[in-house]
Chains A and B, each alone.
Chain A
């Protein structure tokens, strides 16, 4: 029963929504949007669950002085201060009615001065990790790896003005061999063909997965196969 009921709802809702997508007339037409709204409402309540969980875990950590507990104080502090700044619109020039992100408010200041640089720093790590991952991945160990290596080499160089400078002597009939042109060809032909094939495969995978779910064949996410 514990699993039968959710599966039943899944099956009914799933099929109704598929049918509804092809029937624009009321009451079917708006079902998709209505359910999206229900999801958002549930997600908001679930956020309280998530936020509460975060608060509880870190509070316990501080109370019991578990390993690395000072970091938990930072987490709790950041959580409370940012929440209060946004909720009570501290320092907001428009008062409690003002735009939450109004320039001059504490929320906006913290967003621009703390949150933004922290976020950008994390994203910037990619530049470094791309370097180390490329160094490891691009080795001419097999034929396929060699093709990958050559393609990477052309695209990396072709994406820079250096690539154009290096092959600018190739003009006329040979101009297709200029690195930027070769790069465009790699991106537009083999890369695009591969991307499309993967996308078609994914689309079919999504259909098959969704059908398994709404037919009740796949129920592992509920914890098991049997009732």
Chain B
């Protein structure tokens, strides 16, 4: 065997233990560049997302939709696009939107929707008549149990400490059963699962959900019996946006956050696939040379 062959072998072996920072650098480029370019990618709507869309689309004018912000700034980049798309849809359907949070960190994010979507794009909608921010209340699943029976015990004022009886849209709201649909955003605890266990099932109330891509497989078992639909991660948001564009063509040229994220996600997936294939090719080369051993290959 020549020296050259020896060197080549050691290179393959060295590559088996690639420096993790190289992978990190590739992924950073794959995520950042598409975001900077601002491209958008349409996603075909899958049945589980379409079911969620159809449910909202089927709501008559004036229906009451409770939107629970059960997430924090960490997952906001992934979840906020689906919240925006669904709020936009509810506004188009002229539904009454009740925003609340069972996560303390969700409280600040309700403002993002109001200032980012409702005020600029739906200036005719009036606070207290068409939408309301009820804010955060402590108690986790205990809170859900309580408001299923008596809503006003916990929510006597809105987030700005104004008595809720002053708002026309709060008339006749005595329990969670008065809502036509509850949508929980966020797959953590408490989240969609607790809304199903403590409100949806005992109160026979339709529950929809939006969560991170990581949390979605955990919630699939609840669809379609206990969840009317589920949006998982940026892809779920992009699929919902796609359904929205088909139903409301005026959004065709509108910047959609979920669709923008999908470009980054697609490129990142391809980069990961590339590395997986690359790692396996190296592995098979070494195996062909009889040089593999248990645990070979990895990152440094």
Contact = CB atoms under 8 A, between A and B. Distances in A.
B299 A127 contact: no
Given A36-B142, A139-B297, A164 B44 contact: yes
Nearest to B294: A141
A115 B272 CA distance: 30
A120 B111 contact: no
B98 to A, nearest CB: 17
B172 interface: no
Contacts of A160: 262, 265-266, 269-270
Contacts of B299: 132, 135-136
B240 to A, nearest CB: 15
Interface size class on chain B is: 35 or more
Given A112-B108, A116-B73, A162 B270 contact: yes
B27 A127 contact: yes
Interface in B24-60: 24, 26-28, 31, 41-44, 46
Interface in B115-130: none
Contacts of A101: 107-108
Nearest to A97: B161
A13 interface: no
A161 B284 CA distance: 29
Residues of A contacting B: mostly = helix
Given A111-B108, A120-B73, A160-B269, A99 B160 contact: yes
A131 B275 contact: yes
Contact of A195 (B20, B72, B159, B221): B221
Contacts of A131: 23-24, 26-27, 268, 271-272, 275
Given A128-B24, A132-B20, A159-B269, A120 B221 contact: no
Contact of A199 (B72, B161, B221, B265): B221
A140 interface: yes
Interface string A123-154: 11011101110111011110000000100110
A222 interface: no
Given A149-B280, A187-B217, A135 B23 contact: yes
Contact of A33 (B145, B273, B279): B145
Contacts of A31: none
A191 interface: yes
A211 B28 CA distance: 48
A192 B46 contact: no
B272 A156 contact: yes
A161 B75 contact: no
B276 A134 contact: yes
B108 A127 contact: no
B217 A134 contact: no
B276 A152 contact: yes
A40 interface: yes
A160 B270 CA distance: 9
A216 to B, nearest CB: 27
B12 interface: no
A187 B159 CA distance: 40
Contact of B135 (A99, A111, A122): A99
Contacts of A152: 276
B44 A180 contact: yes
Contacts of A99: 135, 159-161
Given A136-B279, A140-B284, A156-B273, 16 more contacts: A33-B145, A94-B161, A116-B76, A117-B73, A119-B72, A119-B74, A123-B74, A126-B214, A127-B27, A134-B276, A153-B273, A156-B269, A159-B269, A161-B42, A164-B44, A192-B220
10 contacts: A33-B146, A120-B77, A128-B23, A131-B23, A131-B26, A138-B280, A160-B269, A180-B46, A188-B220, A199-B221
